[in-house]
């Protein structure tokens, strides 16, 4: 009887240990960031821009935000993110707020249709990050991106975010 009881307790303990290891093997957002927006105060083609992506990580996210990927959708022309790495700042979006360089690294694929931004250090729960790019507006069109949000940690599970949209208007002189 005692041996059966001991064996049962050992099996329960072993299965609990295995289950907890399996459960913690991947990092994921319990409540993924869904408040993602894009701002561009200059909306005419060819104008210098200050494109800002804002992401609010929920207080109950369950993980920090380490990486975001924007995949451009349905446009012949690619968005011009600029040549330098972006600046970032924490807090609410402000039109002219300056960010700090060196806290993120952005990579645009050769085809130009995917932008990958990695944060160092990752953005904590309950914080909003604003990523500022400086470049020039491309040709007049509607530009859209699918967003993917990746938590910090080993073997992360990606969460899909909202679709972002910007309009760029033609540069027409009214003479």
Element (H, E) at 1: none
Quote the pLDDT of residue 19.
Answer: 53
As to burial, measured by CB atoms within 10 angstroms (0-12 exposed, 13-18 middle, 19+ buried), residue 51 is: buried
Quote the pLDDT of residue 111.
Answer: 82
Distances (CA, A) of 9 to 5, 24, 113, 121: 6, 22, 55, 42
Measured at the CA of 133, the angle between CA 33 and CA 69, to 5 degrees, comes to 40
Among residues 31, 34, 30, the alpha carbon closest in space to that of 163 is found at: 34
Q: Give the integer Cα–Cα distance in Å for 21 and 38.
A: 38
Q: Give the integer Cα–Cα distance in Å for 86 and 104.
A: 7
Quote the pLDDT of residue 44.
Answer: 94
Query: Are the C-beta atoms of 55 and 129 separated by less than 8 Å?
Result: yes
Domains delineated in the chain: 28-168 (2.60.40.2230)
Query: Are the C-beta atoms of 148 and 32 separated by less than 8 Å?
Result: no
Query: Are the C-beta atoms of 30 and 58 separated by less than 8 Å?
Result: no
Quote the pLDDT of residue 58.
Answer: 97
Encode the chain (175 residues) as per-residue pLDDT tens digits. 666 665 665 557 655 545 554 455 689 999 999 999 999 999 999 999 999 999 999 999 999 999 999 999 987 889 989 988 899 999 999 877 777 777 889 999 888 899 999 999 999 999 999 999 999 999 999 999 999 999 999 999 999 999 999 999 998 865 4
């Amino acid at each position: 009887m005692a041996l059966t009881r001991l064996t049962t307790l050992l099996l329960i303990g072993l299965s609990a240990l295995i289950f907890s290891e399996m459960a913690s093997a991947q990092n994921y957002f319990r409540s993924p960031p869904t408040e993602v927006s894009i701002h561009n105060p200059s909306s005419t083609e060819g104008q210098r821009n200050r494109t800002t992506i804002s992401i609010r990580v929920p207080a109950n996210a369950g993980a920090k935000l380490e990486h975001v990927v924007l995949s451009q959708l349905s446009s012949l022309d690619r968005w011009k993110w600029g040549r330098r790495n972006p600046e970032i700042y924490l807090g609410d979006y402000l039109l002219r707020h300056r960010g700090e360089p060196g806290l993120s690294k952005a990579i645009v694929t050769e085809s130009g249709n995917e932008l990958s931004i990695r944060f160092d250090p990752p953005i904590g729960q309950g914080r909003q990050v604003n990523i500022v790019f400086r470049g020039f507006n491309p040709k007049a069109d509607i530009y859209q991106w699918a967003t993917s949000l990746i938590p910090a940690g080993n073997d992360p599970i990606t969460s899909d975010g909202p679709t972002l949209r910007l309009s760029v208007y033609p540069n027409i002189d009214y003479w």
